[in-house]
A and B are shown apart, each in its own frame.
Chain A
Amino acid sequence: AQSVSQHNHHVILSEAASLELGCNYSYGGTVNLFWYVQYPGQHLQLLLKYFSGDPLVKGIKGFEAEFIKSKFSFNLRKPSVQWSDTAEYFCAVKGNNRLAFGKGNQVVVIP
């Protein structure tokens, strides 16, 4: 079964700072990769996804993620965060018909 690792569970940064959240997975087969976001008090929403093609994926709200197959990674980035990006971010990997989530990164953006 696949597993997903997210590091730096808590991230605090100022507005306009750049954000990068790491995601590493373990699974030997073909994977589909996702980042979900959960704003305070809300449900999970899809931020972006990768299935095939260009490994650099653009998502909503200025987020992007890069799939590096050799490193089993799918890191999320945003060059300049806003206060409204305060949320919990989950990386998810689908392999073998199951979607496995990482434990999430709690991101707090200080105005």
Chain B
Amino acid sequence: DAGVIQSPRHEVTEMGQEVTLRCKPISGHNSLFWYRQTMMRGLELLIYFNNNVPIDDSGMPEDRFSAKMPNASFSTLKIQPSEPRDSAVYFCASRDQLAGLTDTQYFGPGTRLTVL
């Protein structure tokens, strides 16, 4: 199993540009999570999906952020326009919601975003 795959691993962009982060969850997992990690705020849940449907997006900081999950094997997190304060590591995680007691999230390697 390849685990959760994220791309790109590193992204450097200028303020005002659109940024798209991509995630491929573990095959068979039906829940997907987007997190942001910063020194100041630690790990924050941005949004999560169950069966491709957004369930809780209360962590999305503002309208500049949007996330989609068009199918069970792909999700995107888009920031438009990007700002320097968006600089962080963005993690995607997936979980087999129906696995009962194993209820564990598996994390991808993260995308380190730097907005200049």
Question: Complex Cα distance A44/B36, Å?
Answer: 12
Question: Complex Cα distance A103/B103, Å?
Answer: 22
Q: Are B107 and A44 neighbours in the complex by a CB distance under 8 Å?
A: yes
By beta carbon, the residue of chain A nearest B48 is A98
Q: Are B107 and A101 neighbours in the complex by a CB distance under 8 Å?
A: no
From known contacts A49-B104, A99-B45, infer whether A43 and B56 are also in contact, taking CB-CB under 8 Å.
no
Does B25 sit within 8 A of A, measured CB to CB? no
Does B109 sit within 8 A of A, measured CB to CB? yes
Q: Are A43 and B107 neighbours in the complex by a CB distance under 8 Å?
A: yes
SS of B interface (majority): strand
Can you report 27 A-B residue pairs in the complex whose CB atoms are below 8 A from each other?
A: A34-B104, A36-B107, A43-B91, A43-B107, A43-B110, A44-B91, A44-B93, A44-B107, A45-B107, A46-B104, A46-B106, A49-B104, A51-B101, A51-B103, A52-B101, A90-B43, A94-B103, A99-B33, A99-B45, A100-B45, A101-B35, A101-B42, A101-B43, A102-B42, A103-B42, A103-B43, A104-B43
Top-6 shortest CB links A-B = A103-B42, A101-B43, A44-B107, A43-B109, A43-B107, A51-B101
Does A70 sit within 8 A of B, measured CB to CB? no
Does A32 sit within 8 A of B, measured CB to CB? yes
- Chain B interface category by residue count: 10 to 19
Question: Complex Cα distance A52/B33, Å?
Answer: 24
Question: Complex Cα distance A102/B43, Å?
Answer: 7
Question: Complex Cα distance A46/B110, Å?
Answer: 15
A63 smallest CB distance to B (angstroms):
16
Does A8 sit within 8 A of B, measured CB to CB? no
Q: Which chain B residues border A99 with CB–CB below 8 Å?
A: 33, 45, 105
SS of A interface (majority): strand
By beta carbon, the residue of chain A nearest B59 is A98
Contact with B along A30-68 (1 / 0, CB 8 A): 001010100000111110010110000000000000000
Interface positions of A from 53 to 109, Cβ below 8 Å from B:
90, 94, 98-104
Instruction: Contacts A51-B103, A90-B43 known; list 17 others, CB within 8 Å.
Output: A32-B103, A34-B104, A42-B109, A43-B91, A43-B110, A46-B104, A46-B106, A51-B101, A52-B101, A90-B42, A98-B45, A98-B56, A99-B33, A99-B105, A101-B42, A103-B43, A104-B43
